[in-house]
Structure 1
């Protein structure tokens, strides 16, 4: 039997609608985009294309 030097992190999961099951989440993909009003507050005149980034669950 294998043992770990450090315990692995718990599995992050979300509930499946209409079921008692859980779905494991390994990565979260995000799209960032400022609202026009906030962009103006920050000194930007026009909208720039959205940017993408990833947040690992572990």
Structure 2
């Protein structure tokens, strides 16, 4: 019985580790995407200002 419990515990630990790993990777991807999006928004705003100055 102990061997079964130990096997199930290790199996659950592996699943938890996999879940946490995926969560961390998705968090990193999302934060980089947000930074890029904010940077693009700033560039668009600067371009609009430059166009208005030229007029």
When normalised by structure 1's length, the TM-score is 0.18
When normalised by structure 2's length, the TM-score is 0.19
Larger RCO: Structure 1 or Structure 2 (Cα < 8 Å, ≥ 6 residues apart)?
1
Q: Considering fraction of residues, name the structure with more helix.
A: 2
Select the structure of larger CA radius of gyration.
2
